[in-house]
Structure 1
Amino acid sequence: MSALGDGDLDHVVVVTGSLRAAADRIAAAVGVRPAFGGRHPGNGSANLILALTGAGGGAYLEVLGPDPEETRDLPPERTFFGIDLRREPVPGRVLTWARRSDDIEAEAARIRATGIEVGRVQSLGRRRDDGTELRWRLTRAPEPQFGGAFPFLIDWGGAPHPSADAPPVRLIALHADVAETERLAARSAGVALPPAGGAGSPLSVTIAGPGGSLTL
């Protein structure tokens, strides 16, 4: 799948302009319909989840789109990654990925010391469709680094991992096409980037299910 170590990959973030249309397109392509994950109150977004098998540990694909219940226009600093999700394509594009961390403060400080803007550690959450709340901590840079190929960090603490009860698809490939200088900078920060794939975009992912495969 990739040169990432087992457990490095927590999830891949895909952004879309419509969750319903994205779910329809993904289901038609791979034969598995993503589950609704929940809403991010105050951030204007909601998500769909697919568990990723073959990723060396619990991992998932997150499709992040506009919250259909949120009608306000939010300033960029209130949204994830400062993006107006309503302008994104369908089924979506890969924005970035998350690396699992068991000591997020120390790891963020180490990365920051190498000159990479990883952002500060924040506590966030979302409400699942069944009404339960998930809480986690992550690093939040002003924008994705290296075109999204450099991950943000996430620590779930004792919260249940989203991949545990999500419908599964197989992760075929996760590729990062970046300059060698960026790959070396990531290595100096102790972070392995996904291997190059020749797609010409900073980050791409291929998944497969009983109905076929899909590259985003």
Structure 2
Amino acid sequence: MTEPQEIEPRMDHLVYAAPDVDALVAEFTERTGVAPVLGGVHVGRGTRNHLVGLGGAAYLELIGPDDPTARPLPDVFGIDRLTAPRLAAWVVRPADLDATVRQARERGYDPGDIAPLSRRTPDGDLLQWRLTPNRGDRFGGLAPALIDWKDARHPTEGGLPQVRLLSLAGRHPDPPAVRNALAALGVALDVTPGPAALEAVLDTPRGPVTIS
């Protein structure tokens, strides 16, 4: 059995985006043998997600347009520019979101203003949280978004189907710049030179699966 590498302990979730979320879910299920469950529709965003647990309090979010035929497509996580699935972002849950944003700015990196978001679950419940926006300089997704779930029930508390996250790493043409942003946020990610991309390796019933 492949042993997982050390991963940022405050990681909340990975964001796997595509212009057609139903096709993405079908492809993921075929590759891994694990079927993501419907998370719900993001209020006012035009997107829908499906979820898989990654072990502990972390999960994988598969996201795309709620209606893939609608135009324009949502610009969330660059969905309107995608022609194929992409591991678009990772999200970290700090102990104090406001303090982390202030600290990052003092250290020379601005993660963006904090904004409220919400999602309606299939049961009709409304989950509400706070998130730094997915705009601004995220270095191609390598600098994480920051989340505060407030009093909402965390998605991993709902008994998600599971795969295991073995590793998460990034590539970027300017690794030192990314490392400076990560240091300002107080988070860790292995970054090597190359075209900007995140890469995760999952341990699944059908063996290791890489998504990027």
TM-score over 0.5 (shorter chain): yes
TM-score (norm 2): 0.86
SS of corresponding position for 1:163: helix
Amino acid at match of 1:170: R
1:143 paired residue number: 136
Moved runs in structure 1, 4+ residues, more than 3 A? 1-5, 69-74, 196-201
2:76 paired residue number: 80
Residue of 72, 95, 105 corresponding to 2:98: 105
TM-score (norm 1): 0.85
SS of corresponding position for 2:152: coil
Amino acid at match of 1:124: L
Q: Structure 2 CA distance, aligned partners of 1:198 and 1:97? A: 19
Aligned pair 1:210/2:198, yes or no? Answer: no
2:109 paired residue number: 116
- Cα distance, 1:147 vs structure 2: 1.4
Q: Structure 1 CA distance, aligned partners of 2:42 and 2:123? A: 14
1:170 paired residue number: 164
SS of corresponding position for 1:68: coil
1:36 paired residue number: 38
Distance 1:155-1:167 versus aligned 2 partners, 3 A rule:
same
Contact 1:118 1:141 in 2 (8 A): no
1:67 paired residue number: 66
RMSD: 2.4
- Cα distance, 1:136 vs structure 2: 0.5
Contact 1:29 1:212 in 2 (8 A): no
- Cα distance, 1:126 vs structure 2: 0.5
Distance 1:149-1:213 versus aligned 2 partners, 3 A rule:
same
Q: Structure 1 CA distance, aligned partners of 2:58 and 2:210? A: 17
Amino acid at match of 1:212: G
SS of corresponding position for 2:140: helix
SS of corresponding position for 1:49: strand
Contact 1:65 1:86 in 2 (8 A): no
Q: Structure 2 CA distance, aligned partners of 1:215 and 1:113? A: 36
Percent of paired sites with the same residue: 33
Amino acid at match of 2:94: S
Q: Structure 1 CA distance, aligned partners of 2:71 and 2:195? A: 35
SS of corresponding position for 2:41: strand
Q: Which moved more, 1:95-104 or 1:136-145?
A: 136-145
Q: Structure 1 CA distance, aligned partners of 2:138 and 2:182? A: 14
- Cα distance, 1:98 vs structure 2: 0.4
SS of corresponding position for 1:24: helix
Distance 1:69-1:126 versus aligned 2 partners, 3 A rule:
farther
Contact 2:6 2:167 in 1 (8 A): no
Distance 1:127-1:44 versus aligned 2 partners, 3 A rule:
same
Q: Structure 2 CA distance, aligned partners of 1:196 and 1:2? A: 14
Aligned pair 1:12/2:7, yes or no? Answer: no
Amino acid at match of 1:195: D
Structure 2: gaps (5+ residues): none
Amino acid at match of 2:52: L
Residue of 49, 52, 62 corresponding to 1:50: 52
Q: Structure 2 CA distance, aligned partners of 1:2 and 1:192? A: 15
- Cα distance, 1:207 vs structure 2: 1.4
Contact 1:30 1:209 in 2 (8 A): yes
